[in-house]
Amino acid sequence: TALIPKHFSTKYSLMEKWKRMEMEINFKLWILIFKKSRDFFECMTFTAQRVKCKLYYSHLKTRKLHFRRRNIEGFFLTVSPEATLKVATQSSTHNKTFSLNLSAPFISQFYKEPLMKVMSYVDILFGNETEAASFAREQGFETEDIKEIARKAQALPKMNPKRQRIVVFTQGKDDTIMATENEIRAFPVLISDQSEIVDTNGAGDAFVGGFLSQLVYDRPLTECIRAGHYAASVIIKRSGCTFPEKPDFH
């Protein structure tokens, strides 16, 4: 499968940093789409991969990462928390933006220790409403109000004082919540007609991708949210995590 991202890197002239391991399965993920909602049957064969990810950690130590912004999925904490922490600390040291996606409720539950080691370096935290609720329970926030959860997550201790943390929680068809040092805002999503929804798989990742696509150009956070909503709205109108040949985001 490494040939697939390799192909797209060549096609779109992307700078790539691959560490290829022969004959290794990273994970298996089954997704059942039922009545336009999704259920996960996760059969992640990560146990055998933890040793292999030590290679990736050593790979990081021997390379300088020249990126203005770095994003890591919470899922990666299950296989190489050392590598995740390495990227996080490098980002803080060099004043680069480091973002993290909570990824799934079980990350906050079963990988709480590595998650919180990284959290103090997180400049932008992404998640959905169920991930936010799980994080709040594990942190003892004693609230189910998503705005309050976002506020408390934003106020958690942080290593780099030059960058105040931003927390962004999506809620499906409900407003997206963003907490900054100064305010908490709600942003309505683009799709109000639920009949337009075909498949929600990949919507969260699409949102983050859209958000970051504007952040790299130093656009305002409101534009980042707008781009995230646009990307997610495109994904959920199509079967599978697919997208049209050309975007119409302006």
Q: Does the active-site annotation cover 205?
A: yes
Strand residues in the chain grouped as ranges (E): 28-34, 37-43, 69-73, 97-101, 124-128, 166-171, 174-179, 184-187
Q: Which two tokens stand for residue 234?
A: 């495109």
Question: Long-range CB contacts (< 8 A, 24+ apart) of 136-142?
Answer: 137/108, 138/108, 138/109, 138/112, 139/108
Give SS3 for 110. Answer: helix
> Which one, of 101, 159, 92, lies nearest residue 125 by Cα?
101
Per-state percent for the chain, helix, strand, coil, to nearest 5: 40, 20, 40
Beta bridge partners of 127: 169
Catalytic residue among 193, 205, 218, 248: 205
**One-letter amino acid of 221:** L
What single DSSP character describes residue 161? T
Catalytic (active-site) positions: 205
